[in-house]
A and B are shown apart, each in its own frame.
Chain A
Amino acid sequence: DGGITQSPKYLFRKEGQNVTLSCEQNLNHDAMYWYRQDPGQGLRLIYYSQIVNDFQKGDIAEGYSVSREKKESFPLTVTSAQKNPTAFYLCASSISYGGLAEYEQYFGPGTRLTVT
């Protein structure tokens, strides 16, 4: 069964701690993305990666970091520099970067992060 997995589903951390959210896909997609969603709001792009060993900042990259060492994995680290880290985090992938195929993004189930 192909898809995107994110773990854990719920994550709790103390303020000041870094935390890494996992995202794995077995769809053989080149492009991967991280979004943040706050209650009642749409999604905002944090980082995206077109291909292995390459990634770009999205609209709200401050306080976050990513890596793309493998095609199937795109972990997101929420650092202590992120002022309001509590949110719902969604990972997505698409067949390719650019073009119509990019608009059909496949999303994972999300990780709800709570920082107190």
Chain B
Amino acid sequence: LAKTTQPISMDSYEGQEVNITCSHNNIATNDYITWYQQFPSQGPRFIIQGYKTKVTNEVASLFIPADRKSSTLSLPRVSLSDTAVYYCLVGEDTGFQKLVFGTGTRLLVSP
């Protein structure tokens, strides 16, 4: 799996848009980009997945530039309940690829 690099922590305020960038310089042609969210003492929750350009769902958007060496998870108008750790994962769509969770980005949303 391609190694990923994310900021250790980020701070925001309620109502703001938060963008978390993940670097994956060694991403391979077949690799997809997946993001998970984890609250304290809970299991991670799948947020979004993409291959290129932009993907949007009811929770977030994922922006992937043409070279795919990075990706940005965008959370619109965050609330206090978005305080969590966000993990970026990269892996292939063929055969079993272990989900490798790094230390993630700890997002703190304040009033």
User: How does the 8 Å CB contact mask read for A47-78 relative to B, with 1 for contact and 0 for none?
Assistant: 01010000010110000000000000000000
| A98 pairs with B95, CB closer than 8 A | yes
Q: Which of A40, A50, A103, A107 is within 8 Å of B49, CB to CB?
A: A103
Q: In the complex, how many angstroms separate the beta carbon of B71 from the nearest chain A beta carbon?
A: 14
Nearest residue (CB) in B for A4 is: B43
Interface size (B, Cβ < 8 Å)? Answer: 24
Residue from B46, B87, B98 in contact with A45 in the complex, judged by beta carbons closer than 8 Å: B98
Please count how many residues in chain A sit with their CB below 8 Å of the partner chain's CB atoms. Answer: 32
Q: State whether B93 touches A99 (Cβ < 8 A).
A: yes
Q: Which residues of B contact A109 (CB under 8 A)?
A: 42-43
Determine which of A45, A56, A112 lies in contact with B99 in the assembled complex, contact meaning CB atoms within 8 Å: A45
In the complex, the answer to whether B101 meets A43 with C-beta atoms within 8 Å is: yes
Please provide the chain B residues from 19 to 69 with a CB less than 8 Å away from any CB of chain A in the complex. Answer: 32, 34, 41-46, 49
B102 beta carbon closer than 8 Å to chain A: yes
Is the CB–CB distance between B96 and A42 below 8 Å? no
The reply on B103 being an interface residue by CB < 8 A is yes
> B34 near A43 (CB under 8 angstroms)?
no
Per the bound structure, the CA–CA distance linking A99 and B97 in Å amounts to: 9
In the complex, the chain B residue whose C-beta lies closest to that of A107 is B43
**Residues on B with beta carbons closer than 8 Å to the beta carbon of A45:** 98-99
Q: Which 4 A/B pairs are nearest by Cβ-Cβ distance? A: A107-B43, A42-B101, A43-B101, A104-B46
Given contacts A103-B97, A108-B43, 9 further A-B contacts (CB under 8 A): A4-B43, A42-B104, A44-B101, A98-B94, A98-B95, A102-B97, A103-B89, A105-B44, A110-B41
Q: Which residues of A contact B (CB under 8 A)?
A: 4, 33, 35, 40-45, 48, 50, 56, 58-59, 88, 90-92, 97-100, 102-110, 112
